[in-house]
Amino acid sequence: EYGSDDSVYPFGLDPTWHVAENELLFFNSFKMKLSVILGIFQMFMGTCLKGLNAVYFNQKLDLLYEFIPMVLFAGSLFVYMVVLIFLKWSINWNSRMLDATCIDPDSDGWGSSDYKENDGVWLVCDQTGDGTCTPWGHSCTGYDTTEEKCSLDFGGSGDGCQPPNLITTLINIALDPSSVDEPLYEGQLGWQQFLLFVAMISVPILLLAKPFFLKREMDAEHDRRAREVVHHSDEGVAHAAEHEEEHGIGEVLIHQAIETIEFVLGMVSNTASYLRLWALSLAHSELATVFWEKAMLSTLNMNFFMTFLGYGIFAGVTFGVLLMMDVLECFLHALRLHWVEFQNKFFKADGVRFAPFSFKNVLSEAAASS
């Protein structure tokens, strides 16, 4: 039955969106969010690989003072963004917006099954205002704000009954942490302030903790070597040890500052970089629509020859543009995302240099050893 829960696709998009008036607006929003979800998932997985590398190579400082602050920073802001996206998708906004809508109790809209808040119970108000009521029994005056008409009481101007702009919500976590204008759930302000605190405290830990403990290790090593120098009465060795220590800790501080800045700013720029997936998908679908409408649909009502010719043009441009040029373009963009946005979270290029197998080298080594 049309409009029932049984007719909703469990996965994917309903084809009827392709003939809707707001098709482009809907697909733009959906593909943008989907590209952000994929990007954050891949970058977070890359950060987890950094932690696995630290465990494998027994690098305790990297695990405790790089991996953990990175996970806390990424999780408190960017993984939280993914949670908000799924939360917004899962909420029945028809019901929530109906909760803050003034309706005449005598009209056909009163008692609609779309209302799910307050167990779906409709309450008639005293009608002391303009004669209309909200579903939960508030008497409307015509000058009520959404906050006054909404029964959820989540705070802000939307009070939970108005779908928020997620980009604005995420920006305001840092720029306006004292309020949430259009909350999605109860207690959202407190949670976001806590997550912002976690993100802010993780940055100085990432920047200073590892150099601090490395400095302690260097001081301990310096004291040990100094005792050996005193024992052997070698002043030249002591001076060289001090110079080596200062040079080493300076390099560590510079390297850690670069890595901190690169990670913090990189999470923002890398997330934006994944929007290329949205742009590629949008361009691909719009090109396919144009080719179909101009080459096929425009010739179907003509004669057989024009339809045959139109199909030839449609098949040719589909194969040449969509299946060859666009696929190559998507491959290059995906390769770039894999190399830059994903691998820079863990790959250091400091392992064993790759040496391709060569019979010539094997024979040369065998001849040299014999």
pLDDT in tens, 143-152: 999 999 999 9
Q: Where is pLDDT greater, at 232 or 21?
A: 21
- Structure-token pair, residue 40: 């954050």
In this structure, which amino acid lies at residue 204? P
**Is residue 158 predicted with pLDDT exceeding 80?**
yes
Q: Please give the structure tokens belonging to residue 127.
A: 């009608």
Q: Is the pLDDT of residue 222 over 70?
A: yes
Q: Please give the pLDDT value at position 235.
A: 52
8 A C-beta contact, residue 126 and residue 115: no
Please report the DSSP string for 226-277 in residue order.
Answer: HHHHHHHT-HHHHHHHHHHHHHHHHHHHHHHHHHHHHHHHHHHHHHHHTHHH
Q: Give CA–CA dist 150/144, Å, rounded.
A: 10
Which residue reads 């309903």 in tokens?
Answer: 14
* Least reliable range by pLDDT among 14-23, 77-86, 129-138, 223-232: 223-232
Of 28, 35, 31, which Cα lies nearest the Cα of 274? Answer: 35
Mean pLDDT across the stretch 262-266? Answer: 93
Pair 326, 279: CB distance under 8 Å: no
- Contact criterion met (CB below 8 Å) for 44 and 271: no
Strands (E), 27-124: none
Torsion of CA 18, 24, 25, 28, to 10 degrees: 110
Pinpoint the alpha helices (H) of 22-156. 23-56, 60-62, 68-74, 80-90, 93-99, 146-149
Q: Give the three-class secondary structure for 100.
A: coil
Q: Is the dihedral of CA 272, 276, 278, 283 positive or negative?
A: positive
Chain-centroid distance of CA 230 in Å reads 57
With pLDDT > 70 as the criterion, what percentage of the chain qualifies?
93
Q: What are phi and psi of 293, to 5 degrees?
A: -70, -45
Position of tokens 């029932």?
4
More confident residue, 237 or 84: 84
Beta bridge partners of 133: 103, 139
Query: What predicted TM-score, i.e. pTM, was given to this entire model?
Result: 0.83
Condensed to tens digits (0 to 9), the pLDDT of residues 39-96 reads: 999 999 999 999 999 999 999 999 999 999 999 999 999 999 999 999 999 999 999 9
* 185 neighbors 239 (Cβ within 8 angstroms): no
Residue with tokens 């630290």: 54
Listed in order, strand segments (DSSP E) in the chain are none
Burial of 104 (0-12, 13-18, 19+ CB in 10 A): middle
- pLDDT mean over 326-334: 92
Task: Give pLDDT, residue 365.
Answer: 86
pLDDT the model gives residue 303: 85
Average pLDDT, the chain: 88
* 298: pLDDT strictly greater than 80: yes
What is the band of 244 on the pLDDT scale with cuts at 50, 70, 90? low
Residue-level length of the chain: 370
